[in-house]
């Protein structure tokens, strides 16, 4: 028994992380790979039987992990983003949710022929779009902030509301209560309202307590994440005892309050929790999918498949259309949000528990709840996971499909670099804290942003622009390092660069720590003064497309500094002495170099000669 648990844990963790890495490497939806691995290890090969191995501890464990995921999701709900997309978010939660519930119930009854009670339960479960699926997809989709806010807020807010709605429907069915009878209005409805009020209060008060402890230095840094996680679990458990589903509301409110109280240092804690959530999502998806029995899969039928298609192509689009009538939401946004609605862990967990209880209570069609919900989860994850990016690009709802570069510092030579990239249609953004430093770039048609990247406003402004790589080029080496260290968790530590702070400061032991700065742009001796001096002597940035004839010249020509290699649709490779292997361009790549005046004249003469030969 002990070895079965050990084998299951090792297999689940290893497969989960492998799926995440492969998905990142191949740019695939990780959720789909996790779902496939769960099916493979569970129903297909029979290696994992989570509920049998863990027994009664399995469902509570799943519930706690779901609570932590929802808590982390609540921490990304900033009220300032709600103000931008407030109208759409309100419609998608308060208006679309009941419409989706009613339409889903009607479809379940008339298409899959479920009983009315079971149909309303199915409709309540599928209103949950699932932050465990949506949030990982949004991290790699590069959607416009408003559209991303629609999906993010809908998923996180509807998650606990859908769970509570399903719990209320199930409770009414178990009690065999008629909605017209007095008991519903005298007991059930007041209990539900009381549970909601208790959940909101339970989420708000601990957040103020943590702010008090954190801001008065009454909590060591080492204990901040463990205390937050423990407090979230305590809140979830206590509110769940009050009412099924209330715990999810409480931890969502708790996460939202922590974010909107703007506690100093919370960003570092958020990043730690994000890493934990990736691990938890990977484990949960594999475990829940592996726990599906072959008998459940055997109950998949034509009516259930038809019900799934109706949910995808009729219920969800019609719901979004009706809920957004009379709003400023564009038709592209309606089509996109009307299609993208993957269901996830909460739907699976609620369906599994509800199906068992209703079957024991004598509802004949309750055994079909889990297969029906499973079918919706599987089809939406696959269809929406693979189609989100292409559909967003088709509807022009993405920021950019090409890798984009942010250049910090509007000096003369960095402006010339930005202009060179912009002329080649490479997405570039020049950022500075003063408008005067950006005037020259703006006159040359370069996209500019006046912002402080170390501020919350600057980071939010940058989120609205395509940004995959960063080069800090100001004359202040310490400031460059601070910005690179601040942006590294968002872009990746191997994607933030700065001009050299000086050879002495690059000492691995006595110099600037690698964690406190970016990678060196070019060679250690190429500091700010070096580039500034070259520019004053007439050196300028030029672009060259690599051909078969020029392939061997890379890094070997005199009076030329090769700095960037742009591979369309793939990435921007920035040359650094700290790279173990130097990027070698291939035919078709775009090389950005800084060249001396005489070198540019030679290249110009060669181009003119080539053009004359082509004309002849």
Tokens standing for 119? 């149909």
Is residue 407 scored above 80 in pLDDT? yes
Residue range 172-183, pLDDT digits in tens: 776 655 554 555
Q: What is the pLDDT of residue 183?
A: 56
Residue range 28-65, pLDDT digits in tens: 777 778 888 888 888 888 888 887 787 778 878 887 88
Query: 86 pLDDT band (50/70/90 cuts)?
Result: low
Q: Give the Cα separation of 201 and 364 in Å (integer).
A: 39
Helix or strand holding residue 545 (H, E): strand 540-545
Backbone angles phi, psi at 571, to 5 degrees: 175, 175
Q: Across all residues in the chain, what is the average pLDDT?
A: 81
Q: What is the pLDDT of residue 1?
A: 55
Is residue 483 scored above 60 in pLDDT? yes
Q: Angle formed by the axes of helices 345-360 and 369-394, to 10°?
A: 160
Q: What is the pLDDT of residue 187?
A: 60
Q: What is the pLDDT of residue 302?
A: 86
Q: What is the pLDDT of residue 461?
A: 78
Is residue 601 scored above 60 in pLDDT? no
Q: What is the pLDDT of residue 609?
A: 46
Query: 132 pLDDT band (50/70/90 cuts)?
Result: low
Q: For residue 408, what are the β-bridge partners?
A: 431, 472
| pLDDT (average), residues 523-529 | 91
Tokens standing for 154? 């809908």
pTM value is 0.70
**DSSP sequence for 269-337:** HHHHHHHHHHHHHHHHHHHHHHT--HHHHHT--HHHHHHHHHIIIIIHHHHHHHHTTTSS--HHHHHHH
Query: 366 pLDDT band (50/70/90 cuts)?
Result: confident
Angle at 234 between CA 230 and CA 240, to 5 degrees: 145
| pLDDT (average), residues 304-326 | 90
Is residue 136 scored above 60 in pLDDT? yes
Q: What is the pLDDT of residue 604?
A: 47
Q: What is the pLDDT of residue 488?
A: 87
> Looking at 339-353, 403-417, 500-514, 519-533, which range is the least confident one?
339-353
| pLDDT (average), residues 278-285 | 83
Decide which of 483 and 164 is more confident: 483
Give Cβ neighbours of residue 280 (< 8 Å, ≥ 6 apart): 65, 68, 69
Residue with structure tokens 């506690």?
Answer: 263
Is residue 616 scored above 60 in pLDDT? no
Q: Angle formed by the axes of helices 145-175 and 58-74, to 10°?
A: 140
Is residue 615 scored above 60 in pLDDT? no
Is residue 602 scored above 70 in pLDDT? no
Query: Which of 19, 62, 10, 13 lies closest to 37, judged by CA?
Result: 19
Decide which of 248 and 315 is more confident: 315
Q: What is the pLDDT of residue 603?
A: 45
Is residue 515 scored above 90 in pLDDT? no
Q: For residue 431, what are the β-bridge partners?
A: 408, 449
| pLDDT (average), residues 418-436 | 92
Portion of the chain with pLDDT greater than 90, in percent: 22
Decide which of 89 and 567 is more confident: 567
Q: What is the pLDDT of residue 188?
A: 60
Residue 503 DSSP one-character state: S
């Amino acid at each position: 028994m002990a070895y079965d648990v050990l084998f299951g844990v090792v297999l689940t963790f290893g497969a989960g992380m492998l799926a995440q890495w492969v998905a990142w490497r191949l740019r695939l939806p990780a959720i789909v790979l996790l779902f496939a691995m769960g099916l493979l290890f569970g129903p297909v090969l029979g290696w994992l039987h989570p509920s049998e191995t863990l027994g009664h501890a399995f469902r509570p464990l799943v519930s706690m992990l779901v609570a932590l995921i929802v808590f982390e999701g609540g921490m990304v709900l900033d009220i300032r983003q709600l103000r931008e997309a407030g109208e759409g978010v309100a419609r998608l939660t308060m208006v679309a949710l009941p419409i989706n519930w009613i339409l889903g119930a009607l479809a379940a009854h008339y298409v899959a022929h479920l009983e009315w009670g079971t149909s309303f339960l199915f409709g309540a479960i599928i209103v949950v779009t699932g932050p465990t699926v949506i949030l990982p997809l949004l991290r790699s989709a590069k959607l416009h902030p408003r559209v991303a806010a629609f999906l993010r807020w809908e998923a996180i807010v509807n998650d606990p509301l859908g769970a509570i709605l399903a719990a209320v429907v199930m409770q009414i069915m178990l009690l065999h209560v008629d909605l017209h009878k007095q008991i519903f209005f005298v007991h059930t409805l007041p209990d539900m309202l009381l549970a909601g009020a208790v959940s909101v209060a339970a989420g708000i008060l601990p957040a103020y307590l943590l702010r008090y402890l954190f801001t008065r230095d009454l909590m060591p840094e080492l204990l901040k994440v463990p205390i937050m996680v423990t407090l979230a679990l305590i809140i979830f458990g206590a509110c769940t005892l009050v009412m099924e589903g209330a715990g999810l509301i409480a931890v969502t409110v708790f996460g939202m309050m922590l974010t909107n109280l703007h506690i100093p240092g919370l960003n570092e804690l958020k990043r730690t929790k994000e890493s934990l959530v990736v691990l938890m999502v990977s484990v949960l998806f594999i475990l829940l999918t592996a726990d599906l029995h072959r008998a459940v899969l055997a109950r998949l039928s034509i009516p259930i498949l038809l019900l799934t298609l109706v949910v995808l192509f009729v219920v969800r689009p019609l719901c979004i259309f009706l809920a957004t009538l009379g709003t400023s939401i564009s038709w592209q946004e309606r089509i996109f949000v009307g299609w993208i609605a993957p269901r996830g862990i909460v739907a699976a967990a609620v369906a599994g528990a509800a199906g068992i209880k209703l079957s024991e209570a004598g509802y004949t069609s309750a055994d079909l709840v889990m297969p029906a919900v499973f079918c919706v989860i599987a089809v939406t994850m696959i269809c929406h996971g693979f189609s989100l990016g292409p559909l967003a690009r088709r509807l022009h709802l993405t920021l950019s499909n090409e890798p984009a570069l942010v250049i910090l510092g509007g000096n003369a030579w960095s402006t010339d670099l930005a202009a060179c990239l912009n002329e080649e249609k490479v997405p570039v953004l020049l950022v500075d804290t003063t408008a005067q430093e950006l005037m020259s770039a703006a006159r040359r048609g370069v996209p500019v942003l006046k912002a402080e990247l170390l501020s919350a406003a600057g980071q939010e402004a940058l989120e609205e622009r395509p940004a995959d790589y960063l080069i800090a080029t100001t004359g202040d080496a310490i400031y460059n390092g601070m910005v690179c260290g601040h942006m590294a968790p968002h872009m990746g530590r191997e994607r933030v660069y700065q001009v050299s702070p000086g050879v002495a400061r690059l000492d691995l032991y006595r110099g600037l720590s690698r964690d406190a700065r970016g990678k060196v742009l070019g060679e250690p001796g190429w500091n700010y003064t070096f580039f500034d001096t070259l520019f004053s002597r007439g050196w300028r940035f030029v672009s060259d497309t690599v051909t078969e004839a020029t392939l061997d010249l890379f890094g070997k020509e005199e009076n030329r500094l090769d700095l960037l290699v742009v591979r369309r649709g793939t990435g921007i490779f920035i040359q650094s002495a700290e790279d173990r292997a130097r990027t070698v361009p291939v035919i078709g790549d775009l090389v950005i170099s800084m060249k001396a005046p005489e070198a540019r004249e030679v290249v110009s003469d060669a181009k003119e000669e080539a053009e004359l030969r082509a004309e002849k």
